[in-house]
Amino acid sequence: MTNSETKATLSFSDGSPALEMPIYKGSIGPDVIDIRKLYGSTGMFTYDPGFMSTAACNSSITYIDGDKGELLYRGYPIEQLAVNGGDFLETCFLLLNGELPTADQKKDFVATVTNHTMVHEQMQFFFRGFRRDAHPMSVLVGTVGALASFYHDSLDINDPHHREVSAIRLIAKMPTLVAMAYKYSIGQPFVYPRNDLSYSANFMHMMFSTPCEPYKTNEVLVRALDRILILHADHEQNASTSTVRLAGSSGANPFACIAAGIACLWGPAHGGANEAALSMLEEIGSVDNISHFIEQVKDKNSGVKLMGFGHRVYKNYDPRAKLMRETCYEVLQELGLQDDPLFKLAMALEKIALEDEYFVSRKLYPNVDFYSGIVQRALGIPTALFTGIFALARTVGWIAQWKEMISDPEQKIGRPRQLFVGSPKRDVPAIDKR
C-alpha cells in the first residue's frame, strides 16, 4: 500500500480539534482511511457493525470488484483460472505462493500434497464417536480441530517451515476427512486415498468406491468437481476467512483456526446457502409455484429469502455463478439429465427474479450457491455434504490468508471495540431487595 497525497480530516461540530488521517492506496479498489490514531487522539471509536466500511487488514491474495462482477486470484480472473488455468492444485499453489507454478514446481507440489493425503489411523475413532446422522459440518469442525492433537511437529506458528507443512497437511487431508464423514454417515467402510489419482478424482474415489466395487472416474464429472473447488477456493475477507484470521490473531494453531472457519461457514447466510438453495428448490417443487414463492420472499414479515441470491460485495452477476451455471449444464448433459426438473426450475426462478423490480432495485443476482447444489447433487453428493465440499475448497484460501496474516508485520491480535448501551456502574443489592 502507498500513501496518498490526499489526507482525510475529521472535524467536530462542537469545536473539538480536527484530526487529520492518512489515506492509503491499494493497487486496485477503494482507498482506505487510516483511523488507528482516532481513539488515542479523540477518545472515540468508529461504529461499523458487519464491517460495511472497514478494511481489517491489507492483503494481496484475492480481489473482488462487486460492481463489475469481477473476481481475481492473485490478479488472474476466475474465468481464466476455471476454464484454461489447469486444475485445482494449480489454483492452490497460486493462492499460497502468489504465482502460478512452472511445470516442475507443479510436479513437486502435487507430489507433496499427495504424500499427505492419509490421516492418522487413530482419526477413525473420532468419527466413530459421532452419531451416524450427525451433520457433516459438525463432524468436520470436530475432526479438523482434532488434527492439532496428531501433528505436534507442525504447530509452531513462528516457524515458516511448520506453517508450510500445516498448510499442505490441511489441503491434503480435507478430502479424506470429508469423504470419511460421508462414508460414516451411510455406514460404509472408510476408503483410503489413492495417490495415483488426481486430487478431485481421488476425492470421488474415496466418496464412491467400496471394497467390493471400484469407482470408475468420469473425466467430465472430475473436471466439474475441480471447477467447484476452484470457484470456492478463496473470496477475500468473507465471514469465515475473517473468523480464521481473528482466531489466528491470538496465535492459535492453524488446525484450530480452520476448524473455526468451518464453524462460521456452516451458517445459511454463508456456505450453508448451497444446501439451503437446493432445499428451497425442492420445496418450491414446480414452475407453477414460483410466483407464490416470490411473493413470500418480497413479504418482509415472512422471513423467506431467495437462497442463492444476493451478496454483500457483488452488486452485479457473481462471476462464479455464471461458470457454475455452465458446469451445471455440462454435467447434466453428460449424465443424460438435460431435463432435470430442478435445473429447469432454477433457470425459471432466476429469470423471473432477474426481471422483478424487488430484486432489480436491490441489485440481487444469483450467487455461486444458486447452481452449485444442482451440480453436486448430479455428482452424487448428498445435500448435507454440500457445505463440507465448500469447506474442502475454501481450506486453501483460509490457510493462504492465515499465512499472510502471520507474516504481516502490522498484525496484531484482533480486538473490535463496542458502543456500550447497557447499565452504567451500579451496586449489587441483597437478594431480598431485588
Tell me which residues are annotated as active site.
311, 369
Q: Read off φ and ψ for residue 200, nearest 5 degrees.
A: -75, -40
Q: Please answer whether residues 141 and 263 qualify as being in contact, where contact means their C-beta atoms are separated by less than 8 angstroms.
A: yes
Rule CB under 6 A: choose which of 177, 256, 306, 345 binds ligand CMC: 306
* Grid cell in block for residue 344: 429447469
Q: What is the DSSP string of 139-192?
A: HHHHHHHHGGGT-GGG--TT-HHHHHHHHHHHHHHHHHHHHHHHHHHTTPPP--
Output the CA–CA distances (angstroms, integers) from residue 394 to 189, 213, 387, in the order listed. Answer: 26, 30, 10
Nearer to ligand CMC, 297 or 323 (CB): 297
78 binds ligand CMC (CB under 6 A): no
| 429 dihedral zone (left: phi>0; alpha: psi -120 to 50; beta) | beta
CA distance 176 to 250: 28
Residues numbered 229-248 forming contacts with ligand CMC, rule: CB under 6 A: 238
CA 310 and chain centroid, separation: 16
Interface with ligand CMC by CB under 6 A: which range of 78-86, 92-100, 307-315, 399-407?
A: 307-315
Nearer to ligand CMC, 194 or 312 (CB): 312
Place of cell 462487486: 66
Rule CB under 6 A: choose which of 194, 312, 315, 344 binds ligand CMC: 312
Rule CB under 6 A: choose which of 83, 118, 269, 360 binds ligand CMC: 269
Residues numbered 146-205 forming contacts with ligand CMC, rule: CB under 6 A: none
Dihedral over Cα of 249, 250, 256, 261: its sign? negative
Interface pattern 342-381 for ligand CMC (x via CB under 6 A): --------------------x-x--xxx------------
309 binds ligand CMC (CB under 6 A): yes
Rule CB under 6 A: choose which of 311, 322, 325, 403 binds ligand CMC: 311
Nearer to ligand CMC, 191 or 264 (CB): 264
Nearest C-alpha neighbor of 77 from the set 100, 55, 96, 54? 100
Nearer to ligand CMC, 237 or 253 (CB): 237
Interface with ligand CMC by CB under 6 A: which range of 6-14, 100-108, 214-222, 267-275?
A: 267-275
Nearer to ligand CMC, 365 or 402 (CB): 365
**Which amino acid is present at 310?**
G
CB of 239 to ligand CMC, least distance (A): 7
315 binds ligand CMC (CB under 6 A): no
Total interface residues for ligand CMC by CB under 6 A: 19
CB of 69 to ligand CMC, least distance (A): 13
- Number of Cβ atoms within 10 Å of the Cβ of 277: 28
Buried b (16+ CB within 10 A) or exposed e, 141-150: bbbbbbbbeb
Residues numbered 99-128 forming contacts with ligand CMC, rule: CB under 6 A: none
Give the residues lining the site for ligand CMC (CB under 6 A).
238, 269-271, 273, 297, 305-312, 362, 364, 367-369
